[in-house]
């Protein structure tokens, strides 16, 4: 099944929310509470509409308005907890929450309920009064928490926008219409480049350079194995930090020569070829 840009972005949004879920738990709790309030109101609205059609038709315009406003708020519920997404959701809640309040309605103020259904009407209408009151409280608290966690929410928004920009860039690229032909062309280009590379490796100067490098490495490794026992002795002497003293059987000049030899031998573990230069300098010194 083909994966669309929206599918990729949606999975990335869910992955971001999952990654930062511990820092977002307060925001998630408030979102869950708001969604639960609206869901409960929507459930009560259905039964109240059926009752009003039979016993109180003058209530229907208000119920229709509430139905529309709940749909507006539900559709505006953000699927991603970005800073801008949540602020937009809070703004819609602030604009629409008063539409759920039945108290200003004439039929509610006068209690024009059917006598036989007085309790049912009163109970169901009170649901929307409670909804309005709870929305007043929760929306304010929610706004405070969003601002308190603004840095984290903005980080999520930045990561989402970066992914969206990448997807837009990929979508705007001109892809070949014939993918099979395009793959064949790429394969041919790869094979031709590989042949040229192999031919270049067989060229005279490159082969000679590789051979010289190999011989230098072999020669250096052989000399290292020969000098290794002497190097260990010198290393031990250096660590012992021999000092000139009146009782020393070695003269100052002899100790200087030992130190110089140790310093030279210490270069054996440097880059390939350094030993050759060291050896030549020693030969010339002699």
Enter the pTM of the model.
Answer: 0.54
157 shares a domain with 210 = no
pLDDT of residue 154: 92
- Whether 140 maps to a domain, the answer reads yes
Is residue 77 situated within a structural domain? Answer: yes
Check whether residue 144 and residue 280 sit in a common domain.
no
Give the pLDDT confidence score for residue 142 in this predicted structure: 92
Q: Is residue 34 domain-shared with residue 158, that is, in the same domain?
A: yes
Domain co-membership, 138 together with 218:
no
Same domain for 109 and 249, yes or no, is no
Instruction: Tell me: do 165 and 38 sit in the same domain.
Output: yes
41 plus 130 within the same structural domain = yes
Does 30 fall in a domain?
Answer: yes
Whole-number pLDDT of residue 85: 92
Q: What is the CA radius of gyration of the chain?
A: 41
**Boundary of a domain, candidates 119, 153, 172:** 172
- CA distances for 29 relative to 23, 24, 32, 64, 208, angstroms: 12, 9, 5, 29, 72
On whether the CB atoms of residues 60 and 53 are closer than 8 A, the answer is yes
Domain count, the chain: 2
Domain identity same for 225 and 167:
no
Q: Is residue 147 part of a domain?
A: yes
Instruction: Please check whether residues 134 and 11 belong to one and the same domain.
Output: yes
Residue 199 falls within a domain, yes or no? no
Asked if residue 101 and residue 59 are part of one domain, the reply reads yes
Answer yes or no: is 180 within a domain.
no
Q: Are residues 141 and 218 in the same domain?
A: no
H or E stretch covering 254: helix 252-265
CA pair distance 151, 139, nearest whole angstrom: 20
pLDDT tens, N- to C-terminus, the chain (286 residues) = 446 778 888 888 888 888 888 888 899 999 999 999 888 888 888 888 887 787 777 888 888 888 898 899 989 999 888 999 999 999 999 888 888 887 777 666 555 555 556 667 777 777 788 888 888 899 999 999 999 999 999 999 998 888 888 888 777 765 556 667 777 887 888 888 888 777 766 766 666 777 777 778 877 777 777 777 766 776 666 556 555 455 556 667 777 777 777 666 666 555 545 555 554 454 444 4
One domain, residues 239 and 101: no
Range of the domain at 122: 5-172
Domain membership of residue 94 (yes or no) is yes
Sequential DSSP letters for 62-83: HHHHHHHHHHHHHHH--SS--H
Residue 185 lies in a domain: no
């Amino acid at each position: 099944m083909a994966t669309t840009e929206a599918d990729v972005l949606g999975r990335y949004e869910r992955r971001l929310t999952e990654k930062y879920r511990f820092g977002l738990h307060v925001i998630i709790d408030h979102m869950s509470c708001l969604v639960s309030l609206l869901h409960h109101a929507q459930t009560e609205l259905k039964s109240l509409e059926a009752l009003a059609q039979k016993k109180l038709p003058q209530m229907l315009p208000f119920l229709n308005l509430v139905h529309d406003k709940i749909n507006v708020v539900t559709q505006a519920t953000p699927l991603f907890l970005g800073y801008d997404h949540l602020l937009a959701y809070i703004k819609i809640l602030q604009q629409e929450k008063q539409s759920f309040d039945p108290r200003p309605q004439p039929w509610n103020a006068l209690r024009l309920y059917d006598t036989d259904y007085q309790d049912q009407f009163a109970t169901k209408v009170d649901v929307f009064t409670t909804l309005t009151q709870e929305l007043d409280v929760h929306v304010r608290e929610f706004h405070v928490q969003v601002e308190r966690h603004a840095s984290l929410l903005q980080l999520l928004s930045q990561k989402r926008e970066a992914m969206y920009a990448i997807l837009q860039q990929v979508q705007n690229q001109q892809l070949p219409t014939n993918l099979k032909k395009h793959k064949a062309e790429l394969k041919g280009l790869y094979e031709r480049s590989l042949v040229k590379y192999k031919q270049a490796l067989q060229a005279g100067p490159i082969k000679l350079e590789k051979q010289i490098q190999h011989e230098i490495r072999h020669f250096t490794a052989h000399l290292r194995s020969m000098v290794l026992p002497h190097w260990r002795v010198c290393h031990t002497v250096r660590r012992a930090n021999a000092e000139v003293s009146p009782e020393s059987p070695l003269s100052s000049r002899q100790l200087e020569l030992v130190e110089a030899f140790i310093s030279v031998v210490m270069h054996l573990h440097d880059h390939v070829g350094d030993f050759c230069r060291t050896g030549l300098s020693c030969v010339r010194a002699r």
